[in-house]
Each structure stands twice: as structure tokens, then as C-alpha cells.
């Protein structure tokens, strides 16, 4: 077991601490859900530190007190602690002056799209990833994949229609775009998104943002710094 390290990802005296993994296998690097939180913090210009834990520490009482399902991310901010990436991103957005619409009706649309990203689009994207990355049984994989792909295609077609010719989900770039873009990005193991050009452009537009690039760099940097421990163990 390694000690959790607080690695100041931004170099400032941070009062916000994000709990993330110290390392994951290459297929998951750049896709762990603390990326959403790091992205929102970078958009909001809020300095933070990362507490990096390993996969044994995630089941220990200290972490379960932060995240009862033995997952990441979790965050400590404003004297309290939270888990669930969507709730965290929304809370960071509330603390920022430009990640949520000010008008109440438009803000409710942002909340709607936040849930759509997490409850309607993410489950089908995650099911496909489960089949592709975690099923060992090749026969079962071949059997389940077409249905998992079809479910993703249905949602992508619906999402593209709903997005129409808008640049973002609701007015200017805001919190649900962070969530939807990170969900869509998780299809990067396939060419599915290329069949939905407006969504591909939407994702490019979101991930071209400097705050996303910084967040991605910060997550990957943590893994790079710890890779030597896992390579030695392998
Ligand atoms: N609904 C949770 C899901 C968190 C989640 O699935 N985290 C993954 C990493 S991206 C994890 O820690 N998985 C380990 C596990 O479930 O044992 C959220 O959005 O925060």
C-alpha cells in the first residue's frame, strides 16, 4: 500500500483537494472521471491539489468516508466533502460566474442537460466500454457488442438532432458541456462519433478549450509520475 500523496497539481496554495487514482492502465488514462472535475476547476480558475490513491486505498475506511462506493472522484472544498462527478461539476459551476446560465429558465435547461449527459447518454457509452474493455469471453463479446453499439448509435442520433446547429447544449459553454463532452470522448476507442459530424465538431470545440487541455495534462501527469511503481510491480 502506498501513502496517499497530496500532489499540488496547480502549484498554488490550494484549499480544494480532488481525490483521484495515482495510476490506471493505459486504456483508461485520460478518461477517469476526475478529469471532469479538474476541467471544471480549470474553467473556474480555482486552484486545487490532487490526493492520489491506489486501488487498495479506495476500499479503505478513510476513502469510503469520502466516496462510499469505493470510486473516484471525490472533492473537499468549502469545508465539506462531496462525491459524484456530476454533483461536483455542478457545485464548482455554482461557485464560478461563467459556468451556469444566470437566467433561471436557461439554468433549468442546463440542469436538464446535466442529467441527460449522466443518466441518458453515459449509461450506453459505459455499457459499450464494458463490453469492449472488460469482457474476457470473446464469444460473449461478439454477441453483446452489436446491441451495445446500436444503443449508442440511437442516443448519438437523438443527441445530434437535439443539438441542431447550436455550438453548445445551452447557450454559451457551461457545466453540462463538460459532462457531455467527457462522456462522448469515452467513445474514442471506436469510430462511432465520426458518423455524427455535428457531435464530432461539438466535441472538438469543447476539448479545444485551454481549461480542458490543462485538466487532461494534469491527470496524465499524475499517472506518468507514478507509472514506475506499477511497471516495477508488473
Ligand atoms: N457515478 C460516479 C461514477 C464514478 C466511477 O465510476 N469512477 C470510476 C473511475 S472513472 C471508479 O472509481 N471505478 C472503480 C470502481 O468502480 O471500483 C461519478 O460520476 O463520480
> Which pLDDT score is estimated for 233?
58
For 149-156, what is the mean pLDDT?
A: 98
At 189-211, the pLDDT tens digits run 999 999 999 999 999 999 999 99
Please give the C-alpha separations between residue 213 and each of 30, 104, 135, 224, in angstroms, as whole numbers: 11, 30, 31, 16
CA distance 35 to 216: 6
Q: What is the pLDDT of residue 231?
A: 76
Of the given ranges (1-10, 78-87, 162-171, 218-227), which has the lowest mean pLDDT? 1-10
- Report CA(198)–ligand 1 centroid distance (Å): 28
Best of 21, 68, 71 for a ligand 1 pocket test (most atoms within 8 Å of beta carbon): 71
User: Which atom of ligand 1 is found nearest the CA of 69?
Assistant: 16
Domains detected in the chain: 5-98+211-233 (3.40.30.10), 104-209 (1.20.1050.10)
- 76-94 pLDDT per residue, tens: 999 999 999 999 999 999 9
- The answer to whether the CB of 226 falls within 8 A of the CB of 22 is yes
Residue nearest to atom 17 of ligand 1 (CA): 71
pLDDT recorded at residue 215: 98
Please give the pLDDT value at position 11.
47
Task: Kindly indicate the confidence band of residue 234, based on its pLDDT and cuts at 50, 70 and 90.
Answer: low
The alpha carbon of 156 is separated from its chain's Cα centroid by a whole number of angstroms, namely 18
Amino acid at each position: 500500500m502506498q501513502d496517499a500523496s497530496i500532489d499540488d497539481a496547480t502549484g498554488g496554495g490550494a484549499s480544494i483537494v480532488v481525490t483521484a487514482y495515482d495510476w490506471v492502465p493505459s486504456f483508461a488514462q485520460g478518461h477517469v472521471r476526475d478529469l471532469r472535475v479538474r476541467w471544471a476547476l480549470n474553467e473556474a480558475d480555482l486552484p486545487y491539489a490532487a490526493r492520489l490513491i491506489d486501488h487498495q486505498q479506495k476500499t479503505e475506511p478513510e476513502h469510503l468516508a469520502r466516496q462510499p462506493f469505493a470510486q473516484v472522484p471525490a472533492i473537499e472544498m468549502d469545508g465539506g466533502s462531496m462525491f459524484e462527478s456530476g454533483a461536483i461539476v455542478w457545485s464548482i459551476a455554482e461557485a464560478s460566474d461563467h459556468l451556469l446560465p444566470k437566467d433561471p429558465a436557461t439554468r433549468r435547461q442546463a440542469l436538464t442537460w446535466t442529467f441527460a449527459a449522466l443518466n441518458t447518454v453515459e449509461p450506453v457509452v459505459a455499457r459499450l466500454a464494458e463490453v469492449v474493455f472488460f469482457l474476457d469471453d470473446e464469444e460473449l463479446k461478439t454477441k453483446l457488442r452489436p446491441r451495445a453499439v446500436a444503443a449508442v448509435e440511437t442516443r448519438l442520433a437523438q443527441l445530434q438532432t437535439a443539438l441542431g446547429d447550436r455550438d453548445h447544449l445551452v447557450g454559451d459553454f457551461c457545466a453540462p458541456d463538460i459532462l457531455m463532452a467527457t462522456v462522448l470522448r469515452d467513445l474514442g476507442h471506436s469510430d462511432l462519433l465520426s458518423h455524427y459530424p455535428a457531435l464530432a465538431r461539438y466535441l472538438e470545440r469543447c476539448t479545444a478549450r485551454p481549461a480542458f487541455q490543462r485538466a487532461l495534462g494534469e491527470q496524465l501527469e499524475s499517472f506518468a509520475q507514478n507509472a514506475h511503481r506499477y511497471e516495477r510491480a508488473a
